[in-house]
Amino acid sequence: MNIREHTEYIEEQILSPHAQLSSKSKGRARPERKCEIRTDFQRDRDRIIHSKSFRRLKHKTQVFITPEGDHYRTRLTHTLEVAQIARTIARALRLNEDLTEAIALGHDLGHTPFGHAGEFVLDSICPYGFKHYEQSLRVVDVLENGKGINLTAEVRDGIVNHTGENKAMTLEGQIIKYADRIAYINHDIDDAIRGGVIAKESIPKHCLEILGKTHAERINTMISDIIYESANKDTLSMSKDVYQATMDLRKFMFDNVYIGSVAKKEEQKAQNIVSELYNYFVKHPESLPDELQVCLENSDIHRVVCDYIAGMTDRYAIHKFYEIFIPASWRKA
């Protein structure tokens, strides 16, 4: 029995009957020789962490576009917070922590530059539409390394079903939807207060009474509620009061931060950058990088351009905009 097999044996002994065992994975689209040390889900986690798409998340917007300050969240720090919350829930429920972590780390790999502002533009301009969770799956299946990174079916399923009405086939995957929401609601409150967009006093009092008055208290309440409501069950849930308070807090954030606030004042400029770049590369495919020229042999120009722009960081998108649309003499000024 090698190390991986021993780990799989331990999983069978200690994990919940509702957990997804590594040894019972549905496998990969392209069969591979098993690792002697790592389980398939551990291996998936490592592939995601070492991907270029994962590294680019550090320069992609969460909520604030080009914020002035070192402590605002980026798409990467958001991803790490989701992973921490998800692992806590998975461990407490005796679910597969490795699978949960892999999904959490990969769930936003397909996010555009400038956050949801970039996603909105690509969805409206690309003939195929654009959803970041579908693009995240495309990243791991096709785009990373030019051939994808061949993840297991359970990780792929969790990534593409982490938001909206979609429902992952494993409880580990379903955790990510809760963890994602818990993370962004709470850290966006923190960033919005830091940025002067909202005041602590403006947060609905009934939400604070139920969830807690501080960032840590609210996260602890939400996580603990899921754990106690879901223990020894084949489904995940929150209690009625905590769920309603969480959704009310989410609505407050949409009304006061996510839509039309000072936090979003640069959004139109960012959307114009994405739109102009998209239209330019569709009209001038010869300007695409050499590695994408090959993709044009098998893919539609709109698909290739959408993939290219979605993979950009904020600063690279701005750099390309300057390079293409701003006269060289002005760029030096």
**What is the residue-averaged pLDDT of the chain?**
94
Position 333 pLDDT exceeds 60: no
| pLDDT at residue 104, as a whole number | 98
DSSP for 65-103 reads SS-SSSSS-BHHHHHHHHHHHHHHHHHHTT--HHHHHHH
CA dihedral angle for residue 78, residue 79, residue 82, residue 88, rounded to 10 degrees = -130
Two tokens at 119? 């996603």
Percent of the residues in the chain that have a pLDDT greater than 90, as a whole number: 84
DSSP 230-250: HTTSSS----HHHHHHHHHHH
Rounded to an integer, the average pLDDT of 314-321 is: 95
Distance CA 126, CA 132 (A): 13
Q: What is the maximal distance between C-alpha atoms in the chain?
A: 68
Report residue 35 as tokens.
């690792």
User: Per DSSP, what are the bridge partners of residue 61?
Assistant: 74
**Is residue 261 pLDDT above 80, yes or no?**
no
Phi, psi of 280, rounded to the nearest 5 degrees: -65, -50
- Residue 22 identity (one-letter amino acid): S
Phi, psi of 289 (to 5 degrees): -60, 155
On whether the CB atoms of residues 90 and 140 are closer than 8 A, the answer is no
What is the rounded CA–CA span in Å between residue 251 and residue 257? Answer: 10
**Residue 86, number of CB atoms within 10 A of its CB:** 32
Residue 265, pLDDT score? 72
Structure tokens, 298: 């098998």
Contact present, 98 and 47 (Cβ < 8 Å): no
Q: State how far the Cα of 325 lies from the Cα of 291, in Å rounded to an integer.
A: 23
Q: Please report which confidence band the pLDDT of residue 266 belongs to, taking 50, 70 and 90 as the band edges.
A: confident
pLDDT tens digits, 103-130? 999 999 999 999 989 999 999 999 999 9
DSSP, collapsed to helix, strand or coil, labels residue 157 as helix
19-36 pLDDT, tens digit each: 999 999 999 999 999 999
**How does residue 64 score in pLDDT terms, banded at 50, 70 and 90?**
confident
Q: Are 119 and 109 in contact (CB under 8 A)?
A: no
Instruction: Mark 8-41 as b/e (b = at least 16 C-beta within 10 Å).
Output: beebeeebbebbbebeebeebeeeeeeeeebbbb
59: tokens are: 């320069």
Q: Quick one: pLDDT at residue 332?
A: 62
18 alpha-carbon distance from chain centroid: 25
**pLDDT (0 to 100) of residue 301:** 97
Enter the tokens of residue 131.
């959803």
Residue 46 backbone zone (phi > 0: left; psi -120 to 50: alpha; other: beta): alpha
Average pLDDT over residues 232-245: 97
